[in-house]
A and B are shown apart, each in its own frame.
Chain A
Amino acid sequence: MMKLEAIIQPSRFESVKDALREIGIEGMTVTEVRGHGRQKGHTEVYRGREYTVDLLPKIKLEMVLPDAVVNTVVETILKTAKTGKIGDGKIFLSRVEEAIRIRNEERGENAL
């Protein structure tokens, strides 16, 4: 099992979600987050006072996947979330030791 975390542009979120549904991915957890990598923010000026807004709005997708589908999901996200500009985001993958479904205590990939 792998945990996938993808931080993407809010404007690409709907396309990514639709594409994932097409390849049969049903579950995901989505958070509205703020942050930045190499992308610089912008400045706002209020009555002559300049503020640098460097934490930009992003969407974070989290899902835990069976090993067999990880590559397909990564490719799908890469294809649909990319605009080619700085600020498109990142994907992080990590191993997951265990998953337990709370309703019936199923374990492992069956719980996903």
Chain B
Amino acid sequence: MKHMGRKGSFFTVLVLGAVVLAAAPLSAQQPATPSPAIPSSATPHSTGTPETNLTSKSSRAMNERLAQLDQRVTAAQTSADNAWMLVSAALVLMMTGPGLALFYGGLVRRKNTLAIMMQSFALMALITVLWALVGYSLCFGGNGPVIGGFEHAFLRGVGAEPNPDYAGTIPQLTFMVYQLMFAIITPALITGATAERMKFSGTVLFLTLWFLVVYAPLAHMVWGKGGLLSASLGGKFPTLDFAGGTVVHISSGVSALACALYLGKRTGYPRQPMPPHSLVLSFIGACLLWVGWFGFNAGSALASSPLATSAFVATHFAAAAAALSWSAAEWIKNGRPSALGAISGGVAGLVAITPAAGFVAPMPALAIGFIAGALCYWMVTRVKAIFGYDDALDAFGVHGAGGTVGALLTGVFAQQLINPIYGAGKPVGGLDGHWGQVGNQLAGVLISWAFALVGTFVLLKIVDAITGLRVSEEQEIEGLDITQHGEEAYNLEP
């Protein structure tokens, strides 16, 4: 308890500093305004007044040439946007495998290494198939308030033509495969909370159902046309979520908490030491996550636009600031900054900037990072210890907490200068002059929390009855690698 005073004041200073840092340059921000995507139909060729000495024939020829030019401009933009979006899709897949698989793989004890990696990889395969059959359609088909429809089931009608509701310059097939990568990493994040004790069969069944029952509706509500929380496509509570603060991080993080509570603690926790078996693996994983996150956030501009650059910069800045603030907190508390702390902080910053990436300027991005790094440090070191839940790899402490604070701060720091999502001249976030947005963000956060908590508890009950959730105590002690998969991560002696 004697640390409380010092630590309390440390957080106060940090938060105050961050707010000052963010607010000061708000007015003097360089205009990173996205140049509006060149609308192909806006070229005023069709109304050009032919000069009187031109015959109607040459006028027609002129129009044809202009139309051709217009087509070429559109094709060029499609080429550029499509190139970036395909790269982004690949980057986001890299976040799950190998990024998250290594990050989590290093944090578990060696007897569970392959099991946790296998869960990430299994989702790469499983969600892809589900996505092709119904997943994409449930998220992005139809225009209901809660869930999409079946119009794109089996990818019907998803081809080279763009879907102007979502991304007007890239093939819908590109948009589809890009969004798929988000659907893969989100359930994979939950495995951080169930690590080292959940059956493989139960994990597969639970995450399959979770994808259909929790992820798909949330993705539709926030990003889908007509969704309840959609900011740009007619939602009742317009929630700003650029790249998945609610859809990806709150949903997975809060579900992770529900799983940790339902499953109970690992045998021997917290009495028995369970140190990470290889922080080298975790380190490589975290660095891959950082790089992959550029595809995640900057790719969410859905075009190779100035807005993508803005999101790229914000993402990078927040990660750096959060790595520093977590490390600083650790340095003050323990007298030494650790590598695990620095990479955990980096990830916390990436999580928190995810909803904000395409709405905030660089200085607010630094502020969001600073706050998220310190907050998540406090969540995993103090709050987890106080409540005693066994969130094995801190999926809730980092993704749930980081996603929540990021979503709320998006409402504070979003600027029309960066992204005029409500139309030209209309303020977006609180400091922009629209404090009501913080209320909208809160509504989005609460709905996401409630949806994830209830959905997860119900699904866990169902899966518990069908396959069971936990391995037996003997299996847990022997390790999931041998008992669930019949192999070992390290066979160093022949």
Chain A contact residues, CB within 8 Å of chain B: 44-49, 51
Contacts and interface: CB of A to CB of B under 8 A. Distances in A.
A51 B275 contact: yes
B68 to A, nearest CB: 61
A45 B338 contact: yes
Interface of B: 270, 273, 275-276, 330, 333-334, 336, 338, 340-341, 344, 377, 380-382, 384-385, 394
B418 to A, nearest CB: 34
Nearest to A45: B334
A44 B380 CA distance: 16
B408 to A, nearest CB: 24
A47 B381 contact: yes
A47 B380 contact: yes
19 contacts: A44-B275, A45-B330, A45-B336, A45-B338, A46-B276, A46-B338, A46-B340, A47-B340, A47-B341, A47-B344, A47-B381, A47-B394, A48-B333, A48-B377, A48-B380, A48-B381, A48-B382, A48-B384, A51-B273
A50 to B, nearest CB: 9
A48 B382 CA distance: 8
A46 B381 contact: no
A11 to B, nearest CB: 23
A45 B337 CA distance: 10
Contacts of B336: 45
A109 B358 CA distance: 82
- The interface centre, meaning the residue of B275, B336, B394 with most chain A CB atoms within 10 A of its CB, is B275
Nearest to A50: B334
A49 B273 CA distance: 9
Query: By DSSP majority rule, is chain A's interface helix, strand, loop, or mixed?
Result: strand
Contacts of A44: 275
Given A45-B330, A45-B338, A47-B394, 4 more contacts: A44-B275, A47-B340, A47-B380, A51-B275
A44 B339 CA distance: 12
A47 to B, nearest CB: 5
A46 B380 CA distance: 10
B385 A48 contact: yes
B340 A49 contact: no
B407 to A, nearest CB: 23
- The interface centre, meaning the residue of A46, A48, A49, A51 with most chain B CB atoms within 10 A of its CB, is A48
Contacts of A45: 330, 334, 336, 338
A90 B340 CA distance: 36
A48 B381 CA distance: 5
A2 B490 CA distance: 40
A22 to B, nearest CB: 33
Contacts of B275: 44, 46, 51
Contacts of B273: 51
Contacts of B385: 48
A96 B20 CA distance: 77
- The interface centre, meaning the residue of A45, A47, A48, A49 with most chain B CB atoms within 10 A of its CB, is A47
The 10 residue pairs across chains A and B that have the minimum distance between CB atoms? A48-B381, A51-B273, A47-B380, A45-B334, A46-B275, A51-B275, A46-B340, A46-B276, A48-B380, A47-B381
Contacts of A51: 273, 275
Contacts of B270: 49
A6 B429 CA distance: 71
B162 to A, nearest CB: 44
A44 B279 CA distance: 13
A46 B338 CA distance: 8
B334 to A, nearest CB: 5
Contacts of A46: 275-276, 338, 340
A26 B333 CA distance: 52
Nearest to A52: B273
Nearest to B381: A48
Nearest to B385: A48
A23 B334 CA distance: 48
Nearest to B326: A47
A45 B263 CA distance: 25
B283 to A, nearest CB: 13
Contacts of B333: 48
Contacts of A49: 270
A51 B380 CA distance: 16
A102 B287 CA distance: 56
A45 B380 CA distance: 12
Contacts of A47: 340-341, 344, 380-381, 394
A44 B277 CA distance: 13
A47 B385 CA distance: 11
Contacts of B276: 46
Contacts of B381: 47-48
A48 B338 CA distance: 10
Contacts of B384: 48
Contacts of A48: 333, 377, 380-382, 384-385
A48 B330 CA distance: 8
A45 B333 CA distance: 11
Contacts of B341: 47
A32 to B, nearest CB: 14
- The interface centre, meaning the residue of B273, B338, B344, B382 with most chain A CB atoms within 10 A of its CB, is B273
